[in-house]
Amino acid sequence: MNKLQELKKHLKRGKVYRRADLSKWSKSVDRHLEELVKDGTLQKLSQGLYFYPELTVFGETPPEEEVLVRSFLKDKRFLVTSLNAYNALGVGTTQLYNRKTVYNHKRHGDFNLGGKIFSFRIKPHFPLKTTPEFLLVDLLNNLDQLAEDSKEVLEKVRFKATTMDTKKLRYSLREYGNAKTKRLLEPFIAVHYA
């Protein structure tokens, strides 16, 4: 068995690999990676990041978002969200955006991973999962990025805040809100929940 076939034995379908992961099974990792990409075994997702696709009756499946981001960051502490998530709040946001946002502790910038653009943002605090309260605060943090009229959205956000769990909203605002968001929402919460 040659060295390339030996390396292939270690690969598992549906898994994302970093170059460093494969170097423990190959002394010529760059040459082997080039061959594996060329023969279609692996797909190059970005610099130093590769995917071994699963096969279904419909063809090859793309990598799961969570697996892709975890492998890219080499960390499991992150939150993938999108400006699209605000649409579920019912505050007048209806636009659809192609970009995903990844709150994390390690990387900052826009990266193309497997043909998708991910906007990595370093944040000291973020929840493990999104909640309506977090999304409302996050919407205000990112109000300037939305295509909708910010004054109209802000009015609806203030009304929406009156329908939410007070403790959870205050917690989200304290933990995740930027200075501008706190200025916009704190007085309103104080008036409505006094």
C-alpha count within 13 angstroms, C-beta hemisphere, residue 63: 25
* Cα 140 from chain centroid (whole Å): 18
C-alpha span between 104 and 125 (Å, rounded) = 8
Please list, in sequence order, all residues whose beta carbon lies within 8 angstroms of the beta carbon of residue 123, skipping any fewer than 6 positions away. Answer: 103, 104, 105, 176
pLDDT band at 189 (very low <50, low <70, confident <90, very high): confident
Return the pLDDT at 168: 93
- Token readout for 178 is 């930027």
CATH class of 3-63: mainly alpha
**pTM > 0.85:** no
pLDDT, residue 187, reads: 79
54-105 per-position pLDDT tens digit: 888 888 888 889 999 999 999 999 999 999 999 999 999 989 998 899 999 9
* Every domain of the chain and the residues it spans: 3-63, 66-192
For position 69, what pLDDT does the model report? 94
